[in-house]
Amino acid sequence: MSPDQLPLLAAAILLVAFLYSSVGHAGASGYIAVMTLFGLAPGVIRPTALALNILVASIATWQFRRAGHFSWRIFWPFAALAVPMAFVGGYVSLPTRAFKVLVGVVLLLSAVRFLARPGADEVGSEPPRGAALAIGGGIGLLSGLTGTGGGIFLTPLILFMRWAPVRTASAVSALFILVNSIAGLVGNVSATRDFPLPALALLGAAGVGGAAGSYLGSSRLPSAAIKRLLAVVLLIAGLKLILTP
């Protein structure tokens, strides 16, 4: 990437951070797609995406928690095994192409469902603890392998199962993404002994986008609008997983 492309990349990162943070996500799958289009090396992309994730997820966590939407009872069973498994996923490098395509198709189908029927904010019972622990561990491993925080998998699952209202799902996912991204980045840096300097140049853009998006998502946007935005996020993430080698 040439230096004159940096402002364009920063603008794209800002837009991705704004869109994703409005639904409690941090944007890693979007950052990966954008950086791939700009020709950054694979060894730079994953740790950079995780670093941007940490900043935006921190902002989103604060905004959604400040607005009173966070639930510790729902969060901790998903996070307990996710954090060590995200470290493992960030440390290793596996040929996950077929699995990523399968996950991408699932995300696309989820996006279509939210676009067609955003639905009311229906809530049933909280998730069974054993299931949440197992699901969290699996999502944590996948988040480390793909360089994402796992929110693109956790949020639609919580909503489909009616385990929480949409803003609580967003708040839980924001902190879930934060702890997984930290673990994934530590695992990646432990394996590579390197941290890419381009990440530092993009933090400001991600921070501005994340602050604006998470403020709107936590306080201003109606639930149906958040679900439609989530559908757009899932479309981007699904296409990224399917199309990126």
Up-side HSE of residue 39: CA atoms within 13 Å toward CB? 6
d(C-alpha 91, C-alpha 87), whole Å: 6
Output b/e per residue, 182-191; b: 16+ Cβ within 10 A.
bbbbebbbee
- Please determine, for residue 97, whether its predicted confidence score (pLDDT) is greater than 80: no
What does DSSP assign to residue 127? Answer: P
Entry pTM: 0.86
Instruction: Write the pLDDT tens digit of every residue in 124-171.
Output: 788 999 999 999 999 988 887 776 788 888 998 998 888 999 899 999
Residue 117: the pLDDT is 64
- Give the CA distances from residue 146 to residues 19, 97, 167, in Å, rounded to whole numbers and listed in that order: 20, 10, 25
- Please determine, for residue 210, whether its predicted confidence score (pLDDT) is greater than 90: yes
24: Cα separation from own chain's centroid: 8
